[in-house]
Amino acid sequence: MFKATSVKAALQASEPADSILVNGWVRTRRDAKAFSFVELNDGSCLKNLQVIADVGMPGYVETVLKLTTGAAISVRGELVASKGGGQAWEVKASEITLVGAADATYPLQKKGHSMEFLREIAHLRPRANLFGAVFRVRSRLAYAVHQFFQEQGFVYVHTPIVTGSDCEGAGELFRVSTLDPSSPPKSEDGLIDYAQDFFARPTYLTVSGQLEAEVFACALGNVYTFGPTFRAENSNTSRHASEFWMIEPEMAFTDLAGNMDVAEEFVKYLIRDVKEHCADDLAIFGKFVDKGLLERLEFVLERPFQRVSYTEAIEILTASGKTWENPVEWGDNLQSEHERFLAEEHFKCPVTVYNYPKEIKPFYMRLNDDGKTVTAMDVLVPGIGEIVGGSQREERLAVLEANMDHHGLNQDDYSWYLDLRRYGSVPHSGFGLGFERMLMFVTGMANIRDVIPFARTPGNAGF
Amino acid sequence: MFKATSVKAALQASEPADSILVNGWVRTRRDAKAFSFVELNDGSCLKNLQVIADVGMPGYVETVLKLTTGAAISVRGELVASKGGGQAWEVKASEITLVGAADATYPLQKKGHSMEFLREIAHLRPRANLFGAVFRVRSRLAYAVHQFFQEQGFVYVHTPIVTGSDCEGAGELFRVSTLDPSSPPKSEDGLIDYAQDFFARPTYLTVSGQLEAEVFACALGNVYTFGPTFRAENSNTSRHASEFWMIEPEMAFTDLAGNMDVAEEFVKYLIRDVKEHCADDLAIFGKFVDKGLLERLEFVLERPFQRVSYTEAIEILTASGKTWENPVEWGDNLQSEHERFLAEEHFKCPVTVYNYPKEIKPFYMRLNDDGKTVTAMDVLVPGIGEIVGGSQREERLAVLEANMDHHGLNQDDYSWYLDLRRYGSVPHSGFGLGFERMLMFVTGMANIRDVIPFARTPGNAGF
């Protein structure tokens, strides 16, 4: 079989070629007197390959003059240096075959569709330049995640999606079941008999793989997860999805400072990698989505991350003289407006806030010697706010047990987790990075629905 | 902070070091007259680092002589060439600190636990040599999957986990819901009112990302998925899990032959990569799990995959003179015994079987010109049987619609899928590789429960 060349490979050619085959979809066709110009795209890169079809070529009238936006074609011809200014190479076609037509009902032929409309045709929008770019960057960013950790010897762990436990001890969960919902089996007390459910217990979709990742860190040293997580929150914001991917490294023999080091390095690595490998795609975001994007990415790469304790952060916010929608004092959670003020206005750089009040943080975070704060840390970036949340974990059995009691958790449900502290317990730390949040930061896309292939949000599970 | 060295890095050192810090867990301690020998492991590799503690060192009696299997320690000392035969380097300790003790109840100190018992302590078994090796190989294999596709320009796509559709048009599904299971809202007809459920419709856990991957292949060319998939089958075999990871590449402008090329290349690439990067771990499987493992892997690497049509395969099976548990004739599915006969006895090499009867295959496979078979293909390997299943997809709208009618599917439910054939339709192909099956093949592990961090099977969703 004659091997096809991708548009990307053709555009990066080092020399002309007498005979190539390129497949793809027609973006536009323009007819001049002696030629037609067909812009061909195959998704391998943002740019199109210009195809020149001479009016004298066989099938010119029957095929070329009927080519419409969205049609699939195969082009044979010669790769030659382009005389036009826009590209280095173009194809002088000797044969163009229509593979699959696209008639006048093809929704993407007109420009200027709203983002809302494009969400409704999520099965076609990856064919639009902007969304092709989003999903190529998504792919590269995911690969960069793996590279970062694998190159440093971290072990990738697939933590379970279906789980009987709820990591955060709270939160709204999706239930997973095979019981007949219209007449579930009941036990004598009239309650649903989950012993008859598929897993012989109530099960849910995971909200985090952290606790299971801790198991592996306490055996293999440095590990990370990268998988889907779920929140059944009924919140319709531009930053929340019900199904999203999360990265959760967990590191044995690592304290809070070491944890912050890795988190900051990781964020920079991802940005640097995408800048290097997706320059064309980033340019389109900089042009059409967010004019300040490239500057903001540069800014994060260049500046050292500022580190500030929660207590200091509260002092800065209080001293700022700002009027907050949500007034804030020691003991309160930081809201988005506070986080963005710290990163965008006060420090003018990414900020890592650490040592939060224990009352507003989960049971597994390590208690500091002050008895009031725990070793939590959040990385805040300009334009987004929190992008990373992590902590050093409580490795002292007695302190952890006391903290679980304080949070009203049943120790029996966590006996395996407590075993990690019974046998060869070690200081260990980790964090979570929301993959889609990072992707929004890197692309400037304002709505999480537009960086997910088929977004799941309240009321939406189409495709 | 004094930066620690991993056991792996210490064992691969190019020169001695005056002062290093190594953290890890004690595997064994052996006391001689003038020294104690502590075998230290940190999960970074299979091998231990030998630590020599002189009886004269500070804390020898209080700390070293009390070290037990499973205890976490920090060791400072000198990295020196080893005089013993087993290793190139060892550490002459100057200081050993107990980080976390492990008392006599630590379950992993005795050897010879059954695999069943180790499954019950899935939170501790990664600390056993064998399971450390399994999960390091799992991580490497996952990375190799990404490398294979990314290096060839494939775009990684996260297809949805929660879905309203069932790719295979059949199969047992897990239901995902936030409705109160004891009193779900009902509509006037007495049925459950899914309009009030979280996604305003019935939703399930995905069994395959193929249909969504086709969307992206028809926009970006070559794509792949790698994510969790689910089967609510109540089958308790050593090869089935309810939650498993699957890789599904999908390629535009690719026919069945091209599909088989990629599948075969992919399987070989994965084996080659693990052989290169996990030699020590593979050796332990070859020694303790499956003596024929390394030979079998070599065998797959060296031989070209045999290709045989389903019709030829049936002729071979019929002519074999074998007595089958499941007698087989044209039109039947191949069972595991048939698949293994083809790969292990008849051809004595991996076999790709293609062009199956249309009646036993799903609606989306491309109908061949004979009108009886579709372009399905399965890759069979010795010891496992089917490891890859794929097909060229039906790209002709009318043929696909007819086939959906034949399978009793409602076209309205698949209008987005049909749109791919309405607008710029192209020949395209793809396949699925079960990640855990591949991992079983590469490690020789006989039970799928033992290659998954926390396996989900009927009745089991612990941890």
Average pLDDT over residues B173-187: 93
Q: Which residue is listed with tokens 């210490």?
A: B10
- Report which secondary-structure segment, H or E, holds B286: helix B279-288
3-class DSSP state of A193: coil
DSSP states of B365-424 as a string?
BPBPTTSSEEEEEEEEETTTEEEEEEEEB---HHHHHHHHHHTT--GGGGHHHHHHHHSS
Q: Is pLDDT of B147 > 50?
A: yes
Q: How far is A222 from chain B (nearest CA, A)?
A: 8
Q: Please tell me the distance from the alpha carbon of residue B84 to that of residue B89, in angstroms, as a whole number.
A: 9
Nearest alpha-carbon partner for A77 in A9, A10, A1: A10
Mean pLDDT of chain A: 95
pLDDT category of residue B1 using cuts at 50, 70 and 90: very low
Neighbours of A150 (CB within 10 A): 20
Q: Say how far apart CA A226 and CA A221 lie, in whole Å.
A: 17
B215: nearest CB among A8, A123, A179: A123
Q: Are A142 and A451 in contact (CB under 8 A)?
A: no
CA distance B4 to chain A (A): 9
Chain B: residue whose CA lies nearest to A102: B423
Determine the pLDDT at residue A109. 81
The per-residue pLDDT for B87 is: 85
Tokens for A456? Answer: 């799941």
Q: Give A178's contacts in chain B (Cβ within 8 Å).
A: 172-175, 232
The answer for residues whose C-beta is within 8 angstroms of residue A118's C-beta and 6 or more apart is A125, A128, A131, A450
Which residue from B124, B150, B258 is facing A419, i.e. has the nearest CB? Answer: B124
- Name chain B contacts of A124, Cβ cutoff 8 Å: 215, 219, 419, 423
Mark yes or no for CB contact B126/A216 under 8 Å: yes
Asked if the Cβ–Cβ distance from A156 to B138 is below 8 Å, we say yes
The pLDDT tens digits for B275-298 are 999 999 999 999 999 999 999 999
Residue B179 has pLDDT above 60, yes or no: yes
Across the strands, what pairs with B24? Answer: B73
The better pLDDT of the pair B7, B167 is held by: B7
- A230:B162 CB<8 A: yes
Q: Give me the torsion for CA of A434, A438, A441, A443, rounded to 10°.
A: -130
* Mean pLDDT of the residues in chain B: 95
Nearest Cα residue in chain B from A215 = B123
Task: Tell me how crowded residue A56 is: count the other CB atoms within 10 A of its CB.
Answer: 8
Interface test with A, best of B25, B103, B158 (most A CBs within 10 A): B158
Average pLDDT for runs of 10 along chain A of length 463? 86 96 97 96 97 96 96 98 87 98 91 92 97 98 98 98 72 90 92 95 95 98 98 92 98 97 97 97 96 92 94 97 95 94 93 97 96 97 90 98 93 95 98 97 96 97 92
Q: How many CB atoms lie within 10 A of CB B49?
A: 29
At A417, which amino acid appears?
A: Y
Instruction: Determine, for residues B461 and A162 on separate chains, whether the beta-carbon distance falls below 8 Å.
Output: yes
CB contact under 8 Å between A228 and B228, yes or no, is yes
Q: Is the ipTM of this complex over 0.90?
A: yes
Residue B312, pLDDT score: 98
Q: Which of B220, B245, B250, B251 to mutate to test the interface with A (most CBs of A within 10 A)?
A: B220
User: Which is more confident, B86 or B105?
Assistant: B105
Whether residue B170 is predicted with pLDDT greater than 60 in this model: the reply is: no
* Cα–Cα distance, A147 to A139 (Å, whole number): 12
Q: What pLDDT is stored for residue B14 in this prediction?
A: 95
**What is d(CA B370, CA B392) in angstroms, rounded to the nearest whole number?**
15
The helix/strand/coil state of B100 is strand
| pLDDT tens sequence across B257-280 | 999 999 999 999 999 999 999 999
Q: Do residues B311 and B330 lie in contact, with contact meaning Cβ atoms separated by under 8 Å?
A: yes
pLDDT at B401: 97
Closest by CA to A93, choosing from A111, A75, A108, is A75
- Residue B314 phi/psi, 5° resolution? -60, -40
Helix (H) or strand (E) holding A76: strand A72-81
Q: Do A143 and B150 count as a contact with CB atoms less than 8 A apart?
A: yes
pLDDT for res A166: 59
Residue of A nearest to B228 (CA): A161
Quote the pLDDT of residue B275.
97
Average pLDDT over residues B14-25: 97
Q: What is the pLDDT of residue A311?
A: 98
pLDDT of A170: 53
Query: What is the least distance, in Å, from the CA of A248 to any CA of chain B?
Result: 15
Q: Which helix (H) or strand (E) element contains residue B281? A: helix B279-288
Task: State residue B86's pLDDT score.
Answer: 80
Comparing alpha-carbon positions, the chain A residue that sits nearest to B154 is A44
Rounded distance between C-alpha atoms, residue B258 and residue A213, angstroms: 39
Which residues in chain B have their CB less than 8 angstroms from residue A420's CB? 123
Please report the number of interchain residue pairs, chain A to chain B, with beta-carbon separation below 8 angstroms: 338
Stretch B159-174: mean pLDDT, rounded? 78
Assess contact for A63 and A27: CB atoms under 8 A: no
Of A106, A160, A456, the CB nearest to B454: A160
Per-residue CA distances from B67 to A221, A231, A377, B10, B74 (Å) = 20, 44, 34, 21, 12
Q: Looking at residue A384, what is its pLDDT? A: 83
Nearest to A37 by CA among A99, A105, A97, A84: A84
Residues B315, A83: Cα–Cα separation, whole Å: 59
Enter the DSSP assignment of A359. Answer: G
Instruction: Find chain A residues with C-beta within 8 A of B425's C-beta.
Output: 72, 99-100
Radius of gyration of the CA atoms of chain B, in A: 27
Alpha carbons B163 and B211: distance in angstroms, whole number: 11
CB B136 within 8 A of CB A220: yes
Q: Which residue of B has its CA nearest to A6?
A: B221
